[in-house]
Amino acid sequence: MAKLMKARTGGMALLALVMAVSPLGFANAYYYDVAVGALFNAMICVGLNLLIGYGGQISLGHGAFFALGAYASAIGTSRWGLPPLAALAGGGALVGLLAFALARPILRLKGHYLAMATLGVGMIIYIVLKTEAQWTGGPDGVGVDPLTLAGFTLATDRQWYWLGAGLLLLVVWLALNLVESPVGRALRAGHGAQVGAEVVGVDTSHYKVLMFVVSAVVASVVGSLFAHKNGFITPDIAGFHHSIELVTMVVLGGMASIFGSVLGALLLTVLPQMLAGFDDYEAMIFGAIMMGTMIFLPKGLLPSLIALIRKKRGAKP
Amino acid sequence: MSLLRVQSLSKEFGGVHAIEDLSFSVAAGTIHSIIGPNGAGKTTLFNLITGIYTPSAGMVEFDGRPIGGVAPSRLAALGLSRTFQNLQVFFNMTAIENVMVGAHLHLDRRFWPSLLRLPGSVRRDRACRDHCARLMDFVGLGAYVDAEASAMPYGALKRLEIARALAAKPKLLLLDEPAAGLNATESREIDQVIKKVAADGVTVVLVEHDMKMVMGISDHILALDYGRKLAEGTPAQVRANPDVVAAYLGAHS
């Protein structure tokens, strides 16, 4: 019981429970479709939070890494006839290499300049995907076959949901491991006080580069899955909007909070669907909710809620 | 044998000589204090020794090898560790995690074992946690082990930095004004901590304004003024030096 109260085990158990029970409330395939989108976003955001929340480095280019993974799977499977897993792994490896090559010069920048540089990288990738039509199908997009693993084809949104749920648990577990390890502490230390970390032997830029690569690879792998699930992709997924959306999920859910990222991704994926009934006012209400959250819960949803609960509990005895 | 040797060291900032032609050495196993009025170049000297600044001229030698201009993150591996006058605490972490970062070089820092939480790696991390908790006890922070660093008082943070520096298992520990901003009781506690550290065989170089502390615990004192050496010797010798008295109290012409 005491173990369940710990953020790690308790959080994972709660997440597993919520994901297992949620389908009971899903009335039709559309619910599954939205839920899979939320799971995909949650995976990317957990990775991205390692970079942004724990490492203190912003990136406005992760939508593009997602898109590169998606296109790697599309081109790899339909054009070259690669097995889906090979295309997914190849895309991840390529994106990892690209992120590694970009990271050293880019992560030397700070604040606004870092945001600008990652934004630039994203835009270049977007333009390449849009204009290299002989490879990517250009602005019209390209079709992708469904995902087939060991002879089994994932055909329905329900099957995708369970795959996504399992993978999200895995990603959360890995991220928690990393954060609590010497690697994660070194990363957080570099964000907390760079000089203080350097003098005890932490090569702070090494850990920033590492996390840039890790988060980019996660985005790429999820991009590959998205391509197979959606069956059709366009260059728009590499766009500026998508990258901003991902960062917003991380910030809203809570910086340096793994479960916060899951919550942020869930809310920002599901909320627009729930607000669809308000027609023209949808965007306005959505914006107001986000503004209110950031004004009243500036640390993000989950960290603020936890702090609130602790305060109440602390006040009692 | 001298553990640290500084020879003809100079540092210029746009024509201003923060450190000028300074030479001294620190014998292993001693407590060595550096004193001087504000702006004498004490912290600049620390930053030169610990690789945060690159010397304009001259040489710094640690444990027999030149270290001028070597990156700070490489110096820790050689056995050099320090604290800061203006805190460099990781406020986004707990107190014990701060200390554990100090032990970074003694842990399994490989990516895959960390990611997969391999048992060997976790075991070493647990052992490190226990060791760091003992270090916190050692500096008198036993009550703060699981506290958030951001919720700790100033005096405790000063000691937290000492514990973090010790976790790196240094041969030489540089303390930049460990007693600044502390009350008399806290200062005496720091006194005891420094003495215990030195007794464990760690060589200590100390920058401090608290003269009672400096005179009480130092084996050797170096007095600086305007980046130059003013006097050097045992506490008694330095205290009696007319130049030092003049620099601190103002000279009678």
Kindly provide the ipTM of the predicted complex, given to two decimals: 0.91
Closest chain A residue to B169 measured between Cα atoms? A200
Residue B224 β-bridge partners: B229
Give the pLDDT confidence of B188-208 residue by residue, as tens digits: 989 999 999 999 999 999 999
B171 vs A contacts (CB less than 8 Å): none
Q: How many C-beta neighbours within 10 Å does residue A158 have?
A: 17
pLDDT higher than 70, residue A275:
yes
The per-residue pLDDT for A309 is 87
**Are B76 and A199 a contacting pair, CB within 8 Å?**
yes
Q: Give the domain-ending residue among B134, B157, B180.
A: B157
**B7-13: average pLDDT:** 93
Query: Would you call B23 helix, strand, or coil by DSSP?
Result: strand
- B164 located within any domain: no
- Say if residues A199 and B50 touch (Cβ distance below 8 Å): yes
Cα A112 to Cα A4, A59, A60, A107: the distances in Å are: 41, 10, 11, 12
SS3 B26: strand
Q: Which of residues 209-238 of A touch B (CB under 8 A)?
A: 210
Chosen for mutation from A50, A54, A181 (greatest number of chain B CBs closer than 10 Å) is: A181
| Percent of chain A surpassing pLDDT 90 | 72
The verdict on B77 touching A (C-beta cutoff 8 Å) is: yes
Mean pLDDT of B42-47: 92
Chain A CB contacts of B107 under 8 Å are 182
Q: Which residue, B135, B157, B179, sits at the end of a domain?
A: B157
User: Pick from A182, A183, A196: which is nearest to B90 by CB?
Assistant: A196
Residue B180 lies in a domain: yes
Contact: B121, A189; criterion CB under 8 Å: no
Q: Using CB atoms, which residue from A186, A196, A197 is nearest to B109?
A: A186
Cross-chain Cβ contact B82/A199 below 8 Å: yes
Shortest distance between the Cα of B248 and any Cα of chain A, in A, equals 31
Domain co-membership, B109 together with B67 = no
Average pLDDT along chain A: 91
Same domain for B137 and B194, yes or no, is: no
CA distances B32 to A225, B22, B232, Å, are 62, 16, 10
d(CA B183, CA A279): 64
Instruction: Indicate whether B161 pLDDT > 70.
Output: yes
Of residues A178, A185, A256, nearest to B101 (C-beta): A185
Q: Name the residue of chain B whose CA is nearest to A185's CA.
A: B101
- Assess whether pLDDT exceeds 50 at residue A64: yes
Classify the phi-psi angles of B27: left when phi > 0, otherwise alpha if psi is within -120 to 50, otherwise beta.
Answer: beta
Q: Which residue of B has its CA nearest to A175?
A: B115
- Provide the residue count of chain B: 253
B222 in the same domain as B186? yes
Burial B37-51 (b: 16+ CB within 10 A, else e): eeebbbbbbbbbbbb
Separation of alpha carbons A198 and B76, rounded Å = 8
> Quick check: A63 and A188 in contact, CB under 8 A?
no
Q: Is residue B19 part of a domain?
A: yes
Facing residue for B90 by CB, picked from A178, A188, A199? A188
Distance, in Å, from the CA atom of A220 to the CA atom of A47, rounded to the nearest integer, reads 11
Mean pLDDT of the region B45-56: 92
- At residue B12, the 3 state secondary structure works out as strand
Q: Give the closest of A186, A192, A256 to B104, CB-based.
A: A186
Nearest to B148, CA basis, from B85, B86, B97, B84: B97
User: Between chains, do B101 and A186 touch, taking CB under 8 Å as contact?
Assistant: yes
Least confident of A245-254, B154-163, B177-186: B177-186
Q: Which amino acid is at A306?
A: I
Q: Looking at the predicted structure, is the pLDDT value of residue A316 above 50?
A: no
Return the pLDDT at A5: 60
Does B244 lie in the same domain as B187? yes
B8 within a domain of the structure (yes/no): yes
Residues B100 and B139 in one domain: yes
Q: Which of B84, B116, B125 sits opposite A196 (nearest CB)?
A: B84
> Domain containing B135: what range?
89-157
Contact A256 B71 (CB under 8 A): no
CB B230 within 8 A of CB B36: yes
Supply the pLDDT for residue B212: 87
Q: With CA atoms as reference, report the closest residue to B102 among B176, B178, B160.
A: B160
B252 shares contact with chain A (CB less than 8 Å): no
Question: What is the per-residue pLDDT across A189-208, written as a single tens digit (0 to 9) for each?
Answer: 999 999 999 999 999 999 99
What tokens appear for B216 in the block? 């009480």
- Strand B31-35 with A232-233, pairing: unpaired
User: Cα separation of A269 and A131, whole Å?
Assistant: 29
Tokens of A205: 């830029």
Report phi then psi at B140, rounded to 5. Answer: 85, 25
Closest CA to B78 of B50, B59, B100, B110: B50
Chain A CB contacts of B129 under 8 Å are none
Q: Are residues B145 and B35 in the same domain?
A: no
> Which of B104, B132, B166 to mutate to probe the A interface, most A CBs <10 Å?
B104
Q: Cβ A192–B90 below 8 Å, yes or no?
A: yes
Order of all β-strands in the sheet with B57-62: B16-27, B2-13, B57-62, B65-66
* Same domain membership, residue B66 and residue B181: yes
Q: Write down the pLDDT at residue A1.
A: 46
Domain count, chain B: 2
Residues B174 and B199 in one domain: yes
Contacts of B168 in chain A (CB under 8 A): 200-201
* pLDDT at B52 > cutoff 50: yes
Q: Using CA coordinates, name the residue in chain A closest to B160.
A: A196
